[in-house]
Structure 1
């Protein structure tokens, strides 16, 4: 048995809050990924409440451990990161000074770092920054600092 709804979802063994499987969400068109706002909290969960989707579940310590140890959940996290990189590679919407996708990217980086490790998060970060640079660096330095902070683990005393 999976340790909770987020673990079950990422392992492909349970639905999200709208009864969608992870495969259904990963098959969304780019337009649907842009328009729908309640999937990213399931694909890239965190142990903190989402201000954008306050009814989304919050990761528990048991789920963090379960997801880290579950190969199927890890495969699906990789698939989710690849799908979002394809989305950010194919679209221009987010290449602006400020955009709601910048918050999504911060969440993705934090979640990948927590659940899949620093290396996986770093790969995502590097691709996003390269896309930003290739587009003429349109994203505000303020938003870029959030991404940089998401990539830097806090010292143990600051948690």
Structure 2
């Protein structure tokens, strides 16, 4: 049985935004397709879209209209039947990874299991890395959000593949600050109910417990 559609109007807008059949608009009147078609220069300079592309169960101090995922929406979006949302979020991820200088692939191994890989694009060092491979940058906050949002909304493999690429970049260029790497690591390794800054989301904790119990079976 599929979970019910969210009742919160803001969450209904978020679901419609990611629904390929609806192609809803965010509070700025923009569809997902329109945002993903922006040039890199606009993705860099505009700051009010990343919160709707990669929503979190925590609010944003940078965008008062940022959608805050509630329990009802968490269950709805993570449900196995919601393939349309997962495909749409993967499109958003692929676009942002391209912006940062990475390609993402999904391939099946010999056992039929899907394997996700994120690798540097050809020419990334000259064309993409200069905008964010530095000690401090606003894109580091965006990356933390992306990693956590992927995990919260059920794309754990994609989050870990992106993190592996970030570790490679950190080790290869030695330009990114240790503080940023610490937050990225926390985004992928902390229990799901704890945000990288230590904020706790009480209702998420029981789902982390269920995940652990299932793994032990």
Please say if residues 88 and 128 of structure 1, whose CA atoms lie closer than 8 Å, have aligned partners that are also in contact.
no
2:150 and 2:161 mapped to 1: Cα distance? 10
Q: How many residues align?
A: 158
Match of 1:76 in 2: 88
2:116 is equivalent to residue 108 of structure 1: no
Which structure: greater strand fraction? 2
Question: How big is the alpha-carbon RMSD for the aligned residues of Structure 1 and Structure 2?
Answer: 2.0
Counterpart among 146, 149, 154 of residue 183 in structure 2 = 146
Q: Find the aligned partners of 1:142 and 1:129 in 2 and give their Cα distance.
A: 13
Structure 1 residue 141 displacement after superposition: 0.4
CA distance in 1, matches of 2:73, 2:14: 7
| Corresponding position of 1:32 | 42
**Unpaired runs of 5+ in structure 1?**
none
Q: Which structure dedicates a bigger proportion of its chain to helix?
A: 1
TM-score (norm 1): 0.90
Larger radius of gyration: 2
Contact 1:10 1:22 in 2 (8 A): yes
Cα distance in 2 for residues equivalent to 1:144 and 1:81: 19
Deviation at 1:132?
Answer: 3.6
Task: In structure 2, list runs of 5 or more residues that go unmatched.
Answer: 7-11, 102-123, 195-199, 206-217
Q: TM-score, normalised by structure 2?
A: 0.67
Q: How far apart, CA to CA, are the structure 2 residues paired with 1:155 and 1:65?
A: 14
Tell me which of 13, 21, 32 is aligned to 1:5: 13
Answer 1 or 2: higher relative contact order, Cα 8 Å, separation at least 6: 1
Q: Which secondary structure state, in structure 2, belongs to the residue aligned with residue 20 of structure 1?
A: coil
